[in-house]
Structure 1
């Protein structure tokens, strides 16, 4: 905690663009305020004000040899500390370290000692991850001018394979949406020229929804432009074998959850 607090002034001093420019110039060597003012086309008073702020933050040293203007130089130690702080901010968290949910779970376990605390933790972590996934989905969709539900519908059509055509009823299972919600999404996507509706030859009253090539381009844009959410990036940091294990475990958990949902639904009927 001490290291982060002592580095705060270093970061705060860089909030002003002129101070960043001054540090860039000082990287070339010691210089006087008048020389810096000429290079930046600024008044000497403004330069001195920024230099004072950089000095207070620990970025620059000043020497006065008594023969004229003071000379300013960038402190190498400050830059080293700044870069170390940046590296620390980018470093991934230690998976083995306790976090706020572990502390929360320990308190929960004290109240319910007969229960398995991991069941509680699984739910809490999935809840936290679902927030990341929801933001990621909305962000990726918005980058292409569509809604999250519409992106999911296009993805469902894509994975159905050529000719990328499904009935609204077929789309219900992968999307877990009502027919009314699917119809609303299809209408919007049709207006944007991303899908088209055709009569279902197997059902005179039914329709089929077909994805158009323009829609596939949207899905390609998301991958090519790297419009990935925090959940995607987080998974990419895991070793491939651990990703496979996690995927398998989540599948098992989903199957149990689906089966329990069916059982409860049958009990109500």
Structure 2
């Protein structure tokens, strides 16, 4: 590896090697790069969604409704489970998105105590634009890789995720 190709994670692992040479810091190098990549890409996606008046979390809500398929309707519980959010966290997002006219909440016709959350026409149009902007950020981050490398990386990360505690 050339000096020019080293990154901040290499510096961190080199420091550990200097004080604890018996440690294998390969896992630290992998996860350090995953965390730094996720932060950088996440911040860029936040900016991309911000152009549409959305936070990343708000995009996740309307994106989940969109990818659920027509009629783009789910219960708050289904949304919370999919997005791994508490009901309190979900309520705040739904309030903001409803106020913006991007979704509606209505009684569930099959459950007197339940609600249904649905995308509005405006929400559908907005999420369809915003998803393209988010994908462009992700494509840019992967631009240095060949398509085959992207596929391999995706498969490797799937294995890492499956083995995560």
**Do Structure 1 and Structure 2 share a fold, with TM-score over 0.5?**
yes
TM-score band, normalised by the shorter chain? 0.7 to 0.9
**Could you say if the C-alpha distance between residues 140 and 252 of structure 1 is closer, same or farther in structure 2, counting changes exceeding 3 Å?**
same
Deviations 1:39-62, CA, capped at 9 Å, x for gaps: xxxxxxxxxxxxxxxxxxxxxxxx
Cα contact 1:197–1:208 (8 A) shared by 2: yes
What secondary structure, in the 3-state scheme, does the structure 2 residue paired with 1:236 have?
A: coil
Q: Distance in 2 between matches of 1:201 and 1:192?
A: 24
Please list every run of at least 4 consecutive aligned residues from structure 1 whose deviation after the TM superposition is greater than 6 angstroms.
none
Residue aligning to 1:131: 39
**Could you say if the C-alpha distance between residues 225 and 254 of structure 1 is closer, same or farther in structure 2, counting changes exceeding 3 Å?**
closer
Residue aligning to 1:98: 6
Q: Distance in 2 between matches of 1:131 and 1:234?
A: 12
What secondary structure, in the 3-state scheme, does the structure 2 residue paired with 1:161 have?
A: coil
Q: Distance in 2 between matches of 1:203 and 1:167?
A: 11
Report how far residue 122 of structure 1 moved. 1.6
The 5 A counterparts of 1:31-70 are none
Cα contact 1:195–1:211 (8 A) shared by 2: yes
The match for 1:218 among 126, 142, 163 is 126
Output the TM-score relative to the length of structure 2.
0.85
Task: Say yes or no: does 1:201 pair with 2:104.
Answer: no
Q: Larger RCO: Structure 1 or Structure 2 (Cα < 8 Å, ≥ 6 residues apart)?
A: 2
**Could you say if the C-alpha distance between residues 174 and 113 of structure 1 is closer, same or farther in structure 2, counting changes exceeding 3 Å?**
farther
Output the TM-score relative to the length of structure 1.
0.55
**Could you say if the C-alpha distance between residues 225 and 125 of structure 1 is closer, same or farther in structure 2, counting changes exceeding 3 Å?**
closer
Give unmatched runs, 5+ long, in structure 1.
Answer: 1-93, 261-269
Residue aligning to 2:161: 254
Q: Distance in 1 between matches of 2:143 and 2:69?
A: 26
From the CA coordinates, give the structure whose radius of gyration is larger.
Answer: 1
The match for 2:91 among 183, 190, 198 is 183
Report how far residue 131 of structure 1 moved. 1.7
**Could you say if the C-alpha distance between residues 161 and 109 of structure 1 is closer, same or farther in structure 2, counting changes exceeding 3 Å?**
farther
Cα contact 1:136–1:228 (8 A) shared by 2: no
Cα contact 2:48–2:133 (8 A) shared by 1: no
Report how far residue 97 of structure 1 moved. 2.5
